[in-house]
Amino acid sequence: KAGVTQTPRYLIKTRGQQVTLSCSPISGHRSVSWYQQTPGQGLQFLFEYFSETQRNKGNFPGRFSGRQFSNSRSEMNVSTLELGDSALYLCASRTLPGDNYGYTFGSGTRLTVV
């Protein structure tokens, strides 16, 4: 079956702009989480969505937001981009939020802010 699909793979944006990233989970997976990966901070949890509701949020400013659609696809949005937002954004899906059998991760979207 198809894995977690993230689009686009690469993105270059200018400081101050906003960006939307997309994630399609594995079929049947209803929980989608987002992680940011940077060389300095490593992998950090952004938020998790289940049943179109945000279940949990990491320690990120309000410029980072997301949503989930009825088909479990998720988008995350970053407004007023800063240089420090340059990162690899990884999406992960699992069946349910309480499923601890491991996430399946996508290949990520590499965002560069110039």
60 binds other proteins (CB under 8 A): no
26 forms part of the interface with other proteins (CB under 8 A): no
φ/ψ of 112, rounded to 5, equals: -120, 125
Q: What token pair was written down for 37?
A: 């990966």
Beta strands in 1-114 (DSSP E): 5-7, 10-13, 19-24, 31-38, 42-50, 53-57, 64-68, 74-78, 87-94, 104-105, 109-113
Q: Does 97 bind other proteins (CB under 8 A)?
A: yes
Task: Based on the shown chain and the rule CB under 8 A, indicate whether residue 105 belongs to the binding site for other proteins.
Answer: yes
66 is an interface residue for other proteins by CB under 8 A: no
- Give the interface with other proteins as residue ranges (CB under 8 A): 31, 33, 35, 42-45, 48, 50, 55-56, 58, 88, 90, 92, 97-108, 110
